[in-house]
Structure 1
């Protein structure tokens, strides 16, 4: 273990040792609650299928008369996973990769896992991303190095360490600040990872939906109206796309229809799906979910999370922790704990709290530090006038 890792470990162990027995007990519950996983065929199944395709391509030979190895491997493709903030993209990829035999230890430094994850710095450009990749590969470079040198070094280090899968998380961070020339360079460099004749690397690109224009659109023209090299098309045809849609509420959000009973049962609604997940997490903490949650509580939770699954589960986890810490300890998970969790997140007053207000569907849950609806409306009008 390096000196830096040793020091970091000492700091974390010191923080843990300083906790009181009560805090340690709550931590144990929170860890077990967060360890619960909600799998769905539409989300998990799509990502698992795409990653299975990538793994198969990683070990596909070009020449059947020669053994598998560098120089005798097919091109691989990139998985592009998009969704709004809070959709749960990173956690979904992490658990998908970690569950595959041969990829144990994903995300753990020096685990020997053939896949690594790099968080795209912000703000960022292609060189900064390449430098961060080299740093994660244990080979830091100075910014004076040229862009081609930085990315060539990254590819060499990946082959040296046997890294076959590269996850670039929040890839939209580089797209937000890079100019058109830099975006073209980035597409060419990513394509090189996929099509390298010696060591092709499967890419996992996760980010906001702003990633899509980076890969789609017509061939651009130069100043003489001649087609430029179609770098978008070259990368796009080597991609597999999965989008995580936002959650939805039925037309009457206060009354979720029953589903899942009888031979003609329809697919469970999003509120029903989230209800099952929240009840499961609450059970880990020895709590029951209020009986009418699917009608009275979960639609409010979905609205409070801006209709994103990952955020919904995070708020639920925070509500469960507050219920566990209460005195006396809560046995029933109700709107009370969710109201406190939302207040802790946003510092909003009760009339702006979707777990308290009667007309909660009208609340803009992007707002924070708002005491009442009148104040929020005044701010909105002032902005429009300005």
Structure 2
């Protein structure tokens, strides 16, 4: 119970910051998407680069039943999973009544050499939005849940300790890949054979769903995966993401063969295309306001430039993968929706209904841009 005693107001304020693609072969055959390259093992190049190096390495040192069906797992390992401040890392599972699985990656800001604006402690499991087990209209309410808090400052791919103030003592511990891998091991052990997987995240966790995807695929090689990226769509200033990857030692999560996965504009659109090409058994969703104030203020040209690049990215992905990619893009500057404002209205739908259409393979799942 120790992490759950944190103040709920703090939890809400720190939210800074998908069910399955059909397994039916006929559905895949009828897709208008480009013919995928025949790949025996999706993401093998990334495994060869070592992104799976910590899978099977760490086990929790203790657990706590925080409520019926909810377990918190603690990692008190000095050289293992840890928050970037050195604080303890923990993650959660919650048993559902179906054999479907939601893996949720929370957000909480980035650290880079210039500034660090990341949460210092992982936000514990909260029963809001897509995580609510009590919302009968939510398509994931009865799913088993693996919940990965965010406190690594590195979009869950850091793998280096840093002396940030030059005093000779490491004081930032970017262990994101360890935190992520250890959490996914727990989830796979608890829920080894789901019928479908929704992999969702918001803000920094939206970036992280793409980092987690190859690891989830390695643990679940045959299960369809819906990827939901809420407000972490990879619109980044030129050189910005390369600087982050270098600072975090996170470059192994980007394939060496994909020279434009990080574009000259800094954006990650080609990386997301790479993932869709590698794995025909995934679908992908973007949710982002046109001028998301969290990232627009970090974009050269501000909100207007962010909007232009976001729409271009969404249109490119939709054009190349019309059956497996859609986006939900409202007007405004809001940041994150699937926990903070799950019933946010966008044209003639809302976030929850749109996600429901995706997960339930409903023909109403289409791109919506206000």
With the length of structure 2 as denominator, give the TM-score of the two structures.
0.29
Query: Which structure dedicates a bigger proportion of its chain to strand?
Result: 2
RCO comparison, higher one (Cα < 8 Å, 6+): 2
Structure index of larger Rg: 1
Query: Which structure dedicates a bigger proportion of its chain to helix?
Result: 1
With the length of structure 1 as denominator, give the TM-score of the two structures.
0.28
